[in-house]
C-alpha cells in the first residue's frame, strides 16, 4: 500500500458514509429501554428507515402527534431531512430532539456534525461537548471535538481530545493520522512520524 502524504485531514461523525469520513449513524442503535418506550409507529418507521424506505418512514413519523413524539422520533425525522439535503429542517428536528430530552447525546452529536460541516466549529464544539457530557465514554464525540479544534487551529487541544478518543477506541486509524497532523503543525516531526507510521501500519493491516 502506498504511504499517505501527511496533509490536513478533518473528519466528521457523519450521518451517512462519505469518503474520508466516519460512516457513523444512530439509525439502528437503540437501547432496550428506548425500544420499550417506542410506540408501534416509531418501531415500524425505524424498520423502514433501516431498509432505506425513507418516505414511508417519514409518513409514519409525521402521523404521530408532535406532543407524543420521542427524542428518537425527532432524531429520525432529522436524519431523513438530512438524507433529503434539507439541512435547515434537519437542524430544526435535531433541536426538537434535544428539547424533548436535553440529555439525549445523539441529538447533540448530530447537531455538532452539521455545524462542523457548515464551518461553524464553535457551535459544533458546544454540541459535541454536550454529547460527551451525557455519554462520557463516547469516543466519536471526543474525536469530533478534536476535529473542531483542528478547524480553529488549536492543535494541542485537538490532540488532547484525539487521545481521549483513542483511549476509548484504539482501532480507528484516522485518529492516529490526525494526532500526527497536530504534531506536524507544531513542528514536532519526530512524534508526527511516530503516529503517521502507526496510521500506515493499521491501514496496511486492514487491507491485507
Assess contact for 162 and 172: CB atoms under 8 A. Answer: no
Q: How far apart are the first and last CA of the chain?
A: 9
Shared-domain flag, residues 118 and 15: yes
Instruction: Determine if the pTM surpasses 0.85.
Output: no
Shared-domain flag, residues 119 and 163: no
Shared-domain flag, residues 118 and 19: yes
Return the SS3 of 163: helix
26: DSSP letter: -
Among the candidates 80, 107, 135, a domain finishes at 135
Q: Which domain covers residue 87, as residue numbers? A: 11-135
Shared-domain flag, residues 127 and 26: yes
Shared-domain flag, residues 56 and 131: yes
Residue 13 dihedral angles phi and psi, to the nearest 5°: -80, 95
Shared-domain flag, residues 130 and 171: no
Q: What angle do CA 127, 133, 137 make, to 5 degrees?
A: 110
Shared-domain flag, residues 61 and 125: yes
- Provide the residue-wise pLDDT of the chain in tens; the chain has 208 residues: 333 333 333 333 332 222 233 434 454 444 434 444 668 999 999 999 999 999 999 999 999 999 999 999 999 999 999 999 999 999 999 999 999 999 999 999 999 999 999 999 999 999 999 999 999 999 999 999 999 999 999 999 999 999 999 999 988 999 999 999 999 999 999 999 999 999 999 988 766 5
CATH number of the domain at 181, please: 1.25.40
Shared-domain flag, residues 116 and 18: yes
Shared-domain flag, residues 22 and 121: yes
DSSP states of 34-90: HHHH--HHHHHHHHHHHTT-HHHHHHHHHTS-GGG--HHHHHHHHHHHHHTT-HHHH
144 part of a folded domain: no
Record the cell numbers describing residue 37, joined without a space.
Answer: 418506550
Q: What is the pLDDT of residue 15?
A: 27
206 part of a folded domain: yes
Shared-domain flag, residues 39 and 122: yes
148 part of a folded domain: no
Shared-domain flag, residues 24 and 83: yes
Q: Which helix (H) or strand (E) holds 123?
A: helix 121-134
Q: What is the pLDDT of residue 17?
A: 24
Domains held by the chain: number: 2
Distance separating alpha carbons of residues 73 and 191, to the nearest angstrom: 45
Amino acid at each position: 500500500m502506498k504511504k499517505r502524504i501527511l496533509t490536513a485531514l478533518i473528519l466528521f461523525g457523519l450521518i451517512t458514509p462519505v469518503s474520508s469520513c466516519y460512516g457513523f449513524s444512530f439509525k439502528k442503535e437503540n437501547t432496550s429501554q428506548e425500544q420499550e418506550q417506542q410506540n408501534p409507529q416509531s418501531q415500524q418507521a425505524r424498520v423502514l428507515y433501516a431498509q432505506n424506505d425513507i418516505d414511508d418512514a417519514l409518513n409514519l413519523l409525521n402521523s404521530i402527534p408532535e406532543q407524543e413524539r420521542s427524542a428518537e422520533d425527532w432524531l429520525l425525522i432529522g436524519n431523513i431531512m438530512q438524507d433529503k439535503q434539507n439541512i435547515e429542517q434537519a437542524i430544526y428536528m435535531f433541536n426538537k430532539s434535544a428539547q424533548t430530552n436535553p440529555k439525549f447525546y445523539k441529538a447533540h452529536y448530530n447537531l455538532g456534525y452539521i455545524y462542523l460541516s457548515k464551518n461553524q466549529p464553535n457551535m459544533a464544539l458546544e454540541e459535541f461537548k454536550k454529547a460527551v457530557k451525557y455519554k462520557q465514554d463516547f469516543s466519536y464525540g471526543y474525536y469530533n471535538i478534536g476535529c473542531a479544534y483542528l478547524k480553529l487551529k488549536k492543535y494541542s487541544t485537538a490532540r488532547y481530545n484525539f487521545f481521549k478518543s483513542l483511549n476509548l477506541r484504539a482501532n480507528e486509524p484516522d485518529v492516529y493520522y490526525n494526532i500526527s497532523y497536530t504534531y506536524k503543525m507544531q513542528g514536532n516531526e519526530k512524534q508526527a512520524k511516530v503516529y503517521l507510521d502507526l496510521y500506515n501500519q493499521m491501514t496496511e493491516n486492514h487491507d491485507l
